[in-house]
Chains A and B, each alone.
Chain A
Amino acid sequence: MSVFLMGLAVKTILVVSVCMLIVAYLTLAERKLMGYVQLRHGPNRVGYWGILQPIADGIKAFMKEEVIPANADKKVFIIAPIVSIAAPMLLLAVIPFGDTVTLFGREYTLYLSNPDIGILFVLGISTLGSYGNMLGGWSSGNKYGYIGGVRSTAMMISYELSMAFAVICVVLVSGSLSLVEIVHSQAGVWNIFKAPVALLIFIISGLAELNRTPFDMPEAEAELCTGYNVEYSSMKFALFFFGEYTHLFIFGCLVTTLFLGGWHGPLLPGVIWFFLKTFAVIFFCIWQRATFPRLRWDFVMKLEWKFLLPLAIVNVLVTGFVMAVV
């Protein structure tokens, strides 16, 4: 029993530290890739090829003065960044990074837990991340922050729907709500070939939930001067930032798990395949951020309610019909 607990503790520390390291370096990766797209170098002064930049950023964030505005709701103001980082970090618990491995005669699973309703857990907790933005914007007592929070809420309400419908499609195809079972069911054919439309919907609504560029309404720099986190400074701001990148990493993991066959792949070991696919998805997110301009607010809502949601519903119906007939 104690060996089991020890294994679990080691696994938890390993997963959290490795994933947080990856997330820290995602900030550098994003700045570097965006730089190369825009014919610049990106950060390259701190360390060779800018490799120490995330550490320098972290030190800088710690050194900054912490400001809490006079008319802010102090408690909520402090809780908001914690919520926004805690939600995506919770999701690390259910991501299946790989299959079982045998070490010292014992079998270890390469995921922290495998709840039977894994995908429902993911949908529920990832929505909580938006609460961080919403509460942060609302409590900061600033009109830009307030508008950012309102937009964050509206995004959460609308894009969550089509995302859930895309997930339902995957659940129909795989026949399970457990993330590990979903990956197991993709041993032969990946879900991307069985449900391509669902992937499209999942990526679009996922980008909206991540607040990434074509849909970065809550923090629209040009209109709201970074929106919900406008009053935040020092490590609180960094937590928001970190939460967003953790969410991006989780999103990559989810797309890999649900559509790209998780750890399945030839030759290389499963974990490597998992991370390769995850990084490919993250690369796509950064790439499209460097490409597309921000949509106008009403177009964002129009895209969801008039196009994405009907498409998602029809997709579910068609998938269900095909599953029933074939």
Chain B
Amino acid sequence: MKDKDIINVRKRQGEKEKYVRPLLKGLAHTMKKFWSKPKTIQYPDQKREVSQRWRGLHELTRNEEGELKCVACGLCASICPARCIDVTPYEEEGGIRYPKEFEIDESRCIFCGFCQEACPKEAIKLTRIYDFVNFSRDECRFDIEKLSDSKKHRFKQKKGKYEHLLG
């Protein structure tokens, strides 16, 4: 055990009397911080990089031909603990199954990611989008069309005509 490992709870009398040096040290510290860069992320302008494994807004993936990979097996709907996925399957005569309707209620979703784990076709996945906003509950029900292009739901600050002048 070295001297520096010992934590002195009570200081020696001589150290108690030191007033000026700690004050100057504090001033020097704040001055140093004054010149360093702010750590703030200016939210609507800058967005925080989230983890690769972040679970955000859902997306329905498509194959090379641009068709939905989803076969409407309903595994995601059945595993969903929040019961926010509604799948209506449709089967063509040739035997190709695809979802007629696929709806996720994002206001009920708990973003557990079970749906993407359960999916055998990697058809549904959770993107890293965390800042989608809606004005009503109905708008939170994302259908196939909204889910296939989830990037455009990112929040963007709309600036007024003269707002750029104000910064």
Contact = CB atoms under 8 A, between A and B. Distances in A.
A45 B36 CA distance: 21
Contacts of B31: 287
Given A33-B34, A45-B167, A287 B27 contact: yes
A33 B31 CA distance: 10
Nearest to B28: A291
A35 B38 contact: yes
A293 to B, nearest CB: 9
Given A46-B166, A47-B166, A291-B26, A37 B34 contact: yes
Nearest to B26: A291
Nearest to B30: A291
A85 B26 CA distance: 32
Contacts of B37: 39
How many chain B residues sit at the interface, stated as a range, is 10 to 19
Nearest to A289: B30
Contacts of A37: 30, 33-34
B38 A39 contact: yes
A108 B31 CA distance: 40
A292 interface: yes
A39 B167 contact: no
B23 to A, nearest CB: 7
Given A36-B33, A287-B27, 12 more contacts: A33-B34, A37-B34, A39-B36, A39-B38, A39-B40, A44-B42, A50-B167, A287-B31, A290-B34, A291-B27, A291-B30, A292-B23
9 contacts: A33-B34, A37-B33, A39-B36, A39-B37, A40-B38, A41-B40, A46-B167, A50-B167, A290-B30
Interface of A: 33, 35-41, 44-50, 52, 287-288, 290-292
Given A44-B167, A292-B23, A287 B38 contact: no
A52 B166 contact: yes
Contacts of B36: 39
Given A33-B34, A45-B167, A48-B166, A39 B23 contact: no
Contacts of A52: 166
B25 to A, nearest CB: 10
B4 interface: no
Interface in B11-55: 23, 26-27, 29-31, 33-34, 36-40, 42
A38 B37 CA distance: 10
Contacts of B27: 287-288, 291
B1 to A, nearest CB: 33
B131 to A, nearest CB: 18
A292 B26 contact: yes
B112 to A, nearest CB: 35
A144 to B, nearest CB: 29
Given A35-B38, A41-B38, A291 B29 contact: yes
Given A49-B167, A292-B23, A41 B30 contact: no
A195 B24 CA distance: 21
B27 to A, nearest CB: 5
A48 B167 CA distance: 5
Contacts of B33: 36-39
Contacts of A292: 23, 26
